[in-house]
């Protein structure tokens, strides 16, 4: 066999093995009745999802930050690679800049109700998730970190784990005008910094969150386990 032919076959084998081992990513274009808008969400499925047809998997809901969107996790981080190491489903919903909260003044800004009453039931209908509390986690970055902790505290019977990366907890002290402005890491930060150092730090945080979520799956305690990483200003 010629060296070139052997090389081509070896490269094809490596490509096929990498393809088999990689997690599958779906995009669902969900029509929200509460918000009266199309809110897409991305789904990372385990590598054996299509072959283990009777298996149900734990699920992690991953919330993006202010000015971010559902697609940023896949486009800007290695979350799909980290998730492939665990048999879990990762859901990345669209939250716009709604703070995962129901507005008291805008009738269609109901992002808290959307997550709990529309998104989660849709995910459970479409995918083989573990529908009990012990198989459901939530985490997020910046605005999403605030939202994840809020969901964990307000709905302890729903989530076994709540994780926050650089959570924007200071938002509860802001005026309506200040919410749209840049703030420090103790409030919120909307600086788009793509430096390798910050990208690496964010990926490290995501890897920790995915690991902690997988480790907590199966806990039966009444209160959700919490995991908080407070770093420099990063947003997704």
Q: What residue ranges define each of the domains in the chain, with the CATH number in brackets? A: 40-229 (3.40.50.1820)
Rounded CA gap, 111 and 212, in Å?
25
Quick one: which H or E segment has residue 162? strand 161-165
Predicted local distance difference test score (pLDDT) of residue 228 = 63
pLDDT digits (tens, 9 = 90+) for 98-143: 999 999 999 999 999 999 999 999 999 999 999 999 999 999 999 9
Nearest to 111 by CA among 125, 124, 94: 94
pLDDT digits (tens, 9 = 90+) for 43-61: 999 999 999 999 999 999 9
Rounded CA gap, 153 and 159, in Å?
9
Predicted local distance difference test score (pLDDT) of residue 185 = 38
Write out residues in the chain with pLDDT < 70, as ranges: 1-21, 172-203, 216, 218-236
Query: Residue 196 in contact with residue 74, Cβ under 8 Å?
Result: no
Q: Phi and psi for 79 in degrees, rounded to 5?
A: -60, -35
Predicted local distance difference test score (pLDDT) of residue 19 = 42
Predicted local distance difference test score (pLDDT) of residue 192 = 45
Cβ-proximal residues to 227 (8 Å cutoff; 6+ apart), any chain: 139, 161, 162, 163, 164, 208, 209, 212
Predicted local distance difference test score (pLDDT) of residue 21 = 57
Predicted local distance difference test score (pLDDT) of residue 45 = 97
């Amino acid at each position: 066999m010629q060296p070139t032919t052997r090389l081509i076959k070896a490269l094809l084998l490596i490509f096929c093995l990498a393809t088999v081992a990689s997690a599958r990513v779906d995009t669902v274009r969900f029509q929200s009745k509460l918000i009266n808008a199309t809110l897409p969400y991305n789904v990372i499925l385990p590598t054996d999802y299509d072959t283990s047809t009777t298996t149900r998997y734990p699920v992690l809901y991953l919330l993006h930050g202010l000015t971010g969107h559902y697609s940023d996790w896949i486009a800007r981080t290695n979350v799909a690679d980290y998730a492939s190491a665990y048999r879990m489903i990762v859901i990345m919903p669209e939250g716009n800049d709604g703070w995962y909260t129901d507005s008291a003044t805008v009738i269609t800004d109901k992002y808290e109700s959307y997550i709990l009453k529309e998104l989660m039931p849709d995910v459970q209908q479409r995918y083989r998730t573990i529908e009990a509390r012990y198989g459901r986690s939530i985490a997020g970055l910046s605005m999403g970190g605030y939202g994840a902790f809020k969901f964990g505290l307000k709905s302890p019977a729903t989530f076994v784990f709540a994780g926050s990366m650089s959570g924007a907890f200071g938002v509860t002290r802001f005026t309506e005008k200040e919410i749209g402005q840049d703030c420090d890491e103790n409030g919120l930060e909307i600086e788009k910094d793509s430096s390798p150092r910050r990208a690496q730090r964010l990926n490290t945080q995501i890897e920790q969150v995915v690991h902690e979520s997988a480790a907590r799956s199966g806990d039966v305690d009444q209160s959700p386990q919490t995991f908080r990483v407070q770093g420099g200003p990063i947003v997704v």
